[in-house]
């Protein structure tokens, strides 16, 4: 086997910024020259998450509204007592969505749907710099 490891650097605004990773992942898959294999993206850190979504402005608003309703930033969380942090909601949102995403590559292409984009959702309460790990096994 072979393992190809790469990175994506992203500056986010936090507050459930949704960042479309389509072009960067397609570029990494293409540069790797891999025909058939498995691509994994992982976000180090516990206040951001990865999933897929149709990336369009309406759904970006809907994701924000849904996560705020489910876990409001302004509520009190026990986490705030531990470090005097204000991002308890961000931790729970990220743990629920999950830190990793795996997508098969077939014939040199990610097998995503036409209206399906791989995204980073940064739930933290402030802007963050994220360095995602991308690994292709083939």
Residues that bind its own copies (CB under 8 A): 1-3, 5, 36-38, 40, 42, 44-46, 51-54, 56-59, 61-63, 65-66, 70-71, 77-83, 88, 91-92, 94-104, 106, 111-113, 115-117, 133, 135, 137-138
CB of 22 to its own copies, least distance (A): 12
From the CB of 6, what's the least distance to its own copies, in Å? 10
Residues found in the chain: 138
Name, in order, each residue with C-beta under 8 angstroms of 113's C-beta and a sequence gap of 6 or more: none
Nearer to its own copies, 61 or 126 (CB): 61
Task: Decide whether 17 or 77 has the Cβ nearer to its own copies.
Answer: 77
DSSP secondary structure string for all residues of 39-65: EEEE--SSSEEEEEE--SHHHHHHHHH
Alpha carbons 67 and 57: distance in angstroms, whole number: 16
């Amino acid at each position: 086997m072979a393992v190809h490891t790469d990175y994506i650097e992203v500056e986010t605004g936090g507050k459930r910024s949704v960042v479309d990773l389509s072009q960067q992942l397609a570029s990494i898959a293409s540069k790797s020259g891999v025909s058939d294999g498995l691509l994994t993206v992982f976000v180090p850190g516990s206040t951001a998450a990865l999933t897929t979504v149709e990336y369009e402005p309406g759904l970006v608003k809907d994701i924000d509204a849904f996560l705020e309703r489910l876990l409001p930033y302004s509520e009190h969380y026990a986490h705030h007592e531990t470090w005097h942090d204000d991002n308890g909601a961000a931790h729970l949102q990220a743990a629920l969505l999950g830190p990793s995403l795996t997508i098969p590559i077939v014939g040199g292409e990610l097998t995503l749907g036409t209206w399906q984009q791989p995204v980073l959702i940064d739930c933290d309460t402030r802007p963050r710099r994220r360095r995602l790990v991308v690994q292709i096994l083939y």
